[in-house]
Amino acid sequence: MSLGWDVFREMEHLHREMDDFLNRRPVRWQRGPAFRWSFLPGRAARAYPLVNVTEDQDTIYVDALAPGLNPDTLTITIVENKLTVAGEKQGLGDQVKTDAYHRNERAAGRFVRTVNLPAPVDQNQAEANYTNGLLTIRLPKPEEAKPKQISVTIN
């Protein structure tokens, strides 16, 4: 085939780009908007809650920005290196009539989010804490995932 480009590969490329755009791969936190958008009504279809995943030698930390959750609805599950957080953000509900609102910016509802962890974790020793709207999860690494130093012998 003398065609300069492959239609299917081109399609796949486009598909992947759209996926990236929609899933909004974790980018470094940019000033301002990302935070606001994640709470606005109609935009809650974006990744919610926003998470920071950090690690040190022994532990992986996952912090999620999730104010106003009902802690009883919060479920955290780990399968291999995927961590899933599900729960419900409480709205003001029926206690407020629609015409009584001046502003309604806080989205509410059920959510599920799965994040990939950078290393395997010891599921039995995981701890989660929900304080002041921040969910902090501590995931200790198993012995085999911790970095080992190898000494070099010189002949």
Interface residue list for another protein (CB under 8 A):
26-29, 31-32, 34-36, 39-40, 47, 50-56, 59-61, 63, 65-69, 71, 92, 96, 100-106, 115, 118, 130, 132-134
CB closer to another protein, 53 vs 128: 53
CB closer to another protein, 28 vs 110: 28
DSSP conformational letter for 75: E
Q: Which two tokens stand for residue 136?
A: 């902090």
- Minimum distance of another protein from residue 78's CB (angstroms): 16
- Minimum distance of another protein from residue 13's CB (angstroms): 24
User: Which residues are bridge partners to 84 per DSSP?
Assistant: 77, 114
CB atoms within 10 A of CB 133: 12
CB closer to another protein, 73 vs 77: 73
The whole-angstrom separation of Cα 83 and Cα 77 is 6
- Minimum distance of another protein from residue 153's CB (angstroms): 29
Residues 6 or more apart in contact with residue 12 via CB below 8 angstroms:
none
The whole-angstrom separation of Cα 56 and Cα 54 is 7
- Minimum distance of another protein from residue 138's CB (angstroms): 9
